[in-house]
């Protein structure tokens, strides 16, 4: 708490929490999973406009072939992760909640892992705009979980100037180790991706921020950097939510993103290591994003490990492969702090899914989840990385004073990391209240 | 996957630190128990009876208000137990039991239930109860009896068993009977204030002096407080800053006139300051949540305590200082809202 800051001065961002990390899969190399019999590819795996299908029912597609195109600039295309036949475009469950339209592919038995559709190109001849276009064509989105189209993120607005590319290798969510493994196993692809991103954004400097519980990754990355390289590797404190964009910028550069602003306002653009490693791999070959690394872990998982899975793989197929136990369970896509729980095992792995966790937490009806009144212990105040006052916000939310929360208590600066709910001894669902309040305020404004 | 699993649906976060209100409150009780044990050893049957009666009245009152307001049973959160133990500790060990019960009832009723129960109370319920009896029974609450008197485990202090609604008997005669040395029955604070006698610091640290049940042993209070602070169940900044505020204020006066005013260490070790700082000022409900607010609040309590002690009619000022601090908390919270990450500093 306070004593550390008092003695050593401000180091990185203040507040935050130290949940048990459970990084048991950090030493598990990335392995492939076989194709499922059926792939489900929602058209809106990214933030922005859903992709427009290019295929029709009964059509045959080969692995790597585009099956949906971007709808305008704020959208990305989709590629077929396996060779097979289009079953149709159907409403399917997604991690986001409501069912959405998805292209369903019946995968041919014995379908090859070889990518059959690609357009290799010489990256050294592309100018920044062409690199951005190539990134959009690859269907790349932020693989850390946000699923924001990468080409949009790397497009710097005309009136802004960006000097530093920050690469997010924190992976501060408990359990997840896929980014850690990517840094260990694919450092060259990552550094290639960083060079492309630097050229696309015109930045002269890049900093890879890695939490100091992954020193092996720091060493590996450093060993691949020559002297005088514009890329720097920086170990940052292991603390949740270090991997949040704003927190990492603060830790790596000691710059604060202004409230309501974007990193580009202070000359920074941030990308995740998984995203850049994938770009480094895909761009020269002219391929699309058809698979990603996820961490499959949690107390209920028989063989926790990191797997390279084709996008659209239903989680049921993964669970059958790794084995799981527990009659009452939570299935979470992503990390335990921010990942959504899914209601159906037919939910597919999408571009933004970084993990599949099976937790055997006590049921919500259990006594341990009983909600007590706020006792003003201030743990949430001392945990909030944005230095908000969740205690006060929670009281206002209970009174449904949503407008006041936004106007007087900076509700919109909350990025829903969940630290407040994590520490609350009264089990008050603070961040859950804030999500509702934000949604209602958005509706009111609209 | 042989059988169909039951899928739990919850919104994130799906992890929790695991510490809840009950665990925190229970640990506060643990931290108070050694002090209770010490006071029983010190004052015998009377102290035991007072602890039991006051705590039981708190629990009964809490349950009664649960029923009246149609709320679920809240005895399980231990907060009423803490109120009872703390209240008993602030009373003289020979305090008439019926008066203790009144204090307990008033504390729970007016200090807590009236506001809506746990977490809603503006001020510390134990101190509300004590403030009431301080005003209602000024003699009884300043009647002190010696520690470690002979036969304390076989007989009550005469005042303890005063029948309800009657005033307690005068005990000065009894006191001279049971004490070997000429004990005046005065607490270190009263001795200092009215007679200019400074009690040995070591006696106060160990708690071999007269005083309220819980305010005598600074050492045990410190141990309990440190236990809670180490487990992060108590904000260590509050007691430390309360004591610092008191010591600094006292220090200023001590430098002005070392004969008239007590030294800072005496101020810190005497009276209820230790108990108040560690267990009452630090009560989460009544203290600010903002980091800067905590500092202002704690220093203010320390300062006010000394001012009341030195210049007020009372020997002890901790109670009113903390109640004033509690009362100021909403305002302090309001004006010390932390700077939000990314917000421009005011001076820019």
**Interface residue A290 vs chain B (CB under 8 A):** no
Taking an 8 Å cut-off on Cβ atoms, the answer to whether A382 and B291 are in contact is yes
Of the candidates B167, B65, B44, B49, which has an alpha carbon nearest to the alpha carbon of residue B101? B49
Chain A residues inside the 8 Å CB shell of B119: 372-376, 426
Instruction: Count interface pairs A-B at CB distance under 8 A.
Output: 167
pLDDT given at position B183: 53
Taking an 8 Å cut-off on Cβ atoms, the answer to whether A370 and B20 are in contact is yes
Are B110 and B59 spatial neighbours (Cβ–Cβ below 8 Å)? Answer: no
Cα A239 from Cα A17, distance rounded (Å): 6
**Interface residue A220 vs chain B (CB under 8 A):** no
| Distance of residue A318 Cα from the nearest chain B Cα, in angstroms | 11
Interface test with B, best of A377, A424, A434 (most B CBs within 10 A): A377
Read off the DSSP letter of residue A257.
Answer: P
Question: Cα B199 to the chain's mean position, in Å?
Answer: 22
Interface test with A, best of B1, B2, B4, B8 (most A CBs within 10 A): B8
pLDDT in tens, A104-151: 999 999 888 889 888 999 999 999 999 999 999 999 999 988 899 999
Token code pair at residue A10: 């401000």
More confident residue, A70 or A325: A70
**Sequential pLDDT tens for chain B (348 residues):** 445 678 888 888 988 888 889 999 999 999 999 999 988 988 889 999 999 999 999 999 999 999 998 888 889 889 999 999 999 999 988 899 999 999 999 999 999 999 988 888 889 999 999 999 999 998 888 888 777 877 788 888 888 888 888 888 887 777 777 765 545 566 777 777 776 667 777 777 776 677 776 666 788 899 999 999 999 899 999 999 999 999 999 999 999 988 888 889 888 888 788 999 999 999 999 999 999 999 999 999 999 999 998 888 777 789 999 999 999 999 999 999 888 988 865 433
Tallying the residues shown for chain A, one arrives at: 446
| Distance of residue B79 Cα from the nearest chain A Cα, in angstroms | 10
Comparing alpha-carbon positions, the chain A residue that sits nearest to B234 is A377
Cα A431 from Cα A390, distance rounded (Å): 8
Interface test with B, best of A6, A254, A425, A436 (most B CBs within 10 A): A425
Are B318 and B276 spatial neighbours (Cβ–Cβ below 8 Å)? Answer: yes
Distances (CA, A) of B236 to A1, A310, B223: 11, 52, 13
Chain B residues inside the 8 Å CB shell of A19: 15, 17
Q: Which residue has the tokens 């260490």?
A: B265
Strands A38-42 and A97-107: antiparallel
More confident residue, A307 or B18: A307
- Nearest CB among B16, B118, B341 relative to A375 is that of B118
Strands A78-79 and A66-69: antiparallel
Mark which residues 73-92 of B lie under 8 Å from A by CB: 77
Side-chain half-sphere CA neighbours of A72 within 13 A:
5
- Nearest CB among A246, A341, A391 relative to B8 is that of A341
Of the candidates A387, A380, A381, which has an alpha carbon nearest to the alpha carbon of residue A427? A380
Read off the DSSP letter of residue B193.
Answer: I
Taking an 8 Å cut-off on Cβ atoms, the answer to whether B10 and A364 are in contact is yes
Please name the helix (run of DSSP H) or strand (run of DSSP E) that holds residue A167, with its range, or none: strand A164-169
Comparing alpha-carbon positions, the chain A residue that sits nearest to B237 is A2
Taking an 8 Å cut-off on Cβ atoms, the answer to whether A378 and B13 are in contact is no
Mark which residues 122-181 of B lie under 8 Å from A by CB: none
| Distance of residue B269 Cα from the nearest chain A Cα, in angstroms | 25
**Interface residue B340 vs chain A (CB under 8 A):** yes
% of chain A surpassing 70 pLDDT: 97
* SS3 readout for B260-278: CCCCHHHHHHCCCHHHHHH
| Distance of residue A101 Cα from the nearest chain B Cα, in angstroms | 22
Of the candidates A347, A365, A444, which has an alpha carbon nearest to the alpha carbon of residue A402? A444
Cα A247 from Cα A242, distance rounded (Å): 6
Distances (CA, A) of B12 to A23, A222, A335: 19, 35, 9
- A430 has a pLDDT exceeding 80: yes
Chain B residues inside the 8 Å CB shell of A176: none
Chain B residues inside the 8 Å CB shell of A398: none
**Interface residue B234 vs chain A (CB under 8 A):** no
Beta-carbon contacts of B328 under 8 Å, excluding residues fewer than 6 positions away, are: B297, B300
Taking an 8 Å cut-off on Cβ atoms, the answer to whether B290 and A381 are in contact is yes
Comparing alpha-carbon positions, the chain B residue that sits nearest to A337 is B13
| Distance of residue A409 Cα from the nearest chain B Cα, in angstroms | 9
Side-chain half-sphere CA neighbours of B332 within 13 A:
22
Average pLDDT over residues A86-104: 91
Read off the DSSP letter of residue A17.
Answer: B
Please name the helix (run of DSSP H) or strand (run of DSSP E) that holds residue B37, with its range, or none: helix B21-43
Of the candidates B112, B42, B118, B106, which has an alpha carbon nearest to the alpha carbon of residue B76? B118
- Nearest CB among A373, A387, A389 relative to B119 is that of A373
Average pLDDT over residues A156-174: 93
Distances (CA, A) of B73 to A327, A376, B117, B140, B228: 32, 21, 11, 34, 26
pLDDT in tens, A206-261: 999 999 999 999 999 999 998 889 999 999 999 999 999 999 999 999 999 999 89
Comparing alpha-carbon positions, the chain A residue that sits nearest to B294 is A378
| Distance of residue A98 Cα from the nearest chain B Cα, in angstroms | 14
Strand order across the A38-42 sheet: A38-42, A97-107, A84-94, A60-61
Taking an 8 Å cut-off on Cβ atoms, the answer to whether B17 and A422 are in contact is yes
Chain B residues inside the 8 Å CB shell of A338: 12-13
**Interface residue B71 vs chain A (CB under 8 A):** no
ipTM of the complex: 0.87
Side-chain half-sphere CA neighbours of B260 within 13 A:
8
Q: Is A261 left (phi over 0), alpha (psi -120 to 50) or beta?
A: beta
**Interface residue B232 vs chain A (CB under 8 A):** yes
Are B223 and B35 spatial neighbours (Cβ–Cβ below 8 Å)? Answer: no
Read off the DSSP letter of residue A314.
Answer: B
Average pLDDT over residues A77-93: 95
pLDDT in tens, B241-286: 999 999 999 999 999 988 888 889 888 888 788 999 999 999 999 9
pLDDT given at position B156: 86
Taking an 8 Å cut-off on Cβ atoms, the answer to whether B289 and A392 are in contact is yes
Mark which residues 98-137 of A lie under 8 Å from B by CB: none
pLDDT in tens, A185-204: 999 999 999 999 999 999 99
SS3 B225: helix
Comparing alpha-carbon positions, the chain B residue that sits nearest to A436 is B11
**Interface residue A377 vs chain B (CB under 8 A):** yes
Cα A296 from Cα A356, distance rounded (Å): 5
- Nearest CB among B3, B284, B333 relative to A375 is that of B284
Angle (CA) B247 B251 B255, round 5°: 170
DSSP string, B242-308: HHHHHHHHHHHHHHH-TTTS--HHHHHHSTTHHHIIIIITT-TTTS-SSHHHHHHHHHHHHHHHHHH
Cα A259 from Cα A262, distance rounded (Å): 8
DSSP string, A123-138: GGG--HHHHHHHHHHT
Strand order across the A305-310 sheet: A31-32, A305-310, A291-297, A355-359, A328-333, B6-7
Strands A205-211 and A231-236: parallel
Taking an 8 Å cut-off on Cβ atoms, the answer to whether A413 and B340 are in contact is yes
Of the candidates A353, A422, A143, which has an alpha carbon nearest to the alpha carbon of residue B19? A422
SS3 B321: helix
């Amino acid at each position: 708490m306070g004593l550390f800051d008092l003695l050593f001065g401000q180091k990185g961002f203040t507040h935050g929490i130290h949940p048990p990390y459970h990084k048991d899969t950090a030493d598990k190399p990335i392995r492939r999973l076989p194709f499922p019999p059926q792939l489900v590819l929602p058209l809106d795996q990214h933030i922005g406009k859903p992709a427009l299908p290019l295929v029709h029912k009964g059509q045959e597609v080969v692995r790597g072939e585009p099956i949906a195109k971007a709808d305008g600039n704020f959208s990305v295309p989709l590629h077929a992760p396996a060779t097979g036949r289009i079953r149709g475009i159907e409403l399917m469950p997604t991690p986001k909640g409501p069912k959405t339209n998805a292209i369903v592919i019946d995968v041919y038995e014995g379908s090859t892992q070889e990518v059959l559709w690609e357009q290799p190109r010489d990256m050294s001849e592309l100018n920044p705009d062409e690199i951005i276009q190539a990134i959009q064509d690859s269907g790349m989105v932020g693989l850390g979980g946000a699923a924001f189209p990468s080409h949009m993120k790397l497009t710097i607005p005309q009136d802004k100037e960006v000097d530093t590319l920050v690469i997010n290798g924190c992976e501060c969510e408990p359990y997840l180790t896929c980014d850690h493994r990517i840094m260990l196993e694919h450092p060259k692809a990552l550094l290639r991706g960083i060079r492309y991103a630097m050229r696309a954004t015109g930045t002269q400097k890049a900093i890879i921020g890695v939490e100091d519980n992954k020193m092996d990754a720091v060493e590996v990355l450093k060993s691949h950097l020559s002297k005088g390289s514009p890329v720097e590797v920086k170990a940052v404190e292991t603390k949740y939510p270090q991997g949040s964009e704003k927190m990492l910028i603060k830790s790596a550069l000691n710059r604060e993103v202004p409230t309501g602003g974007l990193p580009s306002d202070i000359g920074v653009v941030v990308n995740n290591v998984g995203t850049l490693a994938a770009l480094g791999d895909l761009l020269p070959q002219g391929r699309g994003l058809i698979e990603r690394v996820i961490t499959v872990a949690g107390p209920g998982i028989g063989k926790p490990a990191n797997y390279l899975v084709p996008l659209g793989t239903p989680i049921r197929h993964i669970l059958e492969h790794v084995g799981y136990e527990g009659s009452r369970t939570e299935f979470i896509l992503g990390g335990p702090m921010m990942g959504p729980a899914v209601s159906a095992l037919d939910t597919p792995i999408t571009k933004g899914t970084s993990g599949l966790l099976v937790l055997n937490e006590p049921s919500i009806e259990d006594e341990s989840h009983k909600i007590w009144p706020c006792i003003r212990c201030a743990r949430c105040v001392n945990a909030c990385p944005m230095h908000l006052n969740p205690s006060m916000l929670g009281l206002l939310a209970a009174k449904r004073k949503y407008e006041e929360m936004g106007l007087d208590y900076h509700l919109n600066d909350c990025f829903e990391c969940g630290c407040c709910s994590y520490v609350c001894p009264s089990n008050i669902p603070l961040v859950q209240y804030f999500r509702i309040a934000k949604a209602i305020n958005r509706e009111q404004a609209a | 996957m042989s059988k169909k699993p039951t899928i739990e649906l919850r919104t994130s976060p799906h992890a929790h630190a695991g510490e809840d209100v009950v665990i925190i409150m229970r640990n506060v009780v643990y931290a108070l128990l050694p002090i209770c044990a010490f006071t029983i050893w010190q004052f015998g049957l009377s102290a035991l009876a007072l602890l039991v009666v006051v705590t039981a009245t708190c629990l009964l009152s809490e349950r009664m208000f649960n029923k009246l307001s149609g709320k679920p049973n809240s005895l399980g959160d231990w907060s009423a137990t803490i109120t009872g133990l703390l209240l008993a500790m602030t009373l003289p060990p020979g305090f008439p039991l019926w008066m203790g019960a009144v204090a307990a009832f008033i504390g729970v009723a007016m200090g807590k239930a009236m506001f809506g129960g746990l977490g809603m109370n503006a001020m510390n319920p134990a101190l509300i109860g004590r403030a009431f009896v301080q005003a209602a029974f000024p003699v009884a609450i300043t009647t002190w009896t010696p520690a470690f008197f002979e036969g304390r485990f076989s007989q009550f202090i005469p005042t303890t068993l005063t029948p309800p609604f009657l005033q307690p008997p005068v005990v000065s005669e009894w006191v001279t009977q049971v004490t070997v040395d000429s004990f005046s029955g005065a607490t270190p604070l009263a001795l200092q204030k009215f007679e200019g006698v400074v009690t040995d610091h070591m006696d106060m640290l160990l708690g071999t002096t007269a005083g309220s049940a819980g305010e005598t042993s600074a050492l045990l209070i410190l141990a309990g407080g440190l236990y809670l602070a180490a487990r992060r169940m108590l904000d260590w900044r509050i007691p430390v800053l309360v004591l610092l505020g008191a010591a600094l204020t006292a220090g200023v006066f001590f430098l002005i006139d070392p004969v008239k005013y007590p030294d800072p260490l005496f101020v810190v070790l005497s009276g209820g300051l230790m108990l108040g700082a560690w267990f009452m000022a630090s009560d989460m409900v009544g203290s600010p949540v903002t980091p800067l607010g905590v500092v202002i609040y704690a220093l203010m309590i320390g300062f006010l305590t000394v001012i009341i002690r030195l210049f007020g009619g009372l020997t002890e000022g901790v109670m009113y200082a903390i109640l004033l601090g509690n009362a100021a908390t909403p305002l302090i919270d309001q004006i010390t809202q932390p700077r939000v990450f990314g917000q421009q500093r005011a001076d820019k």
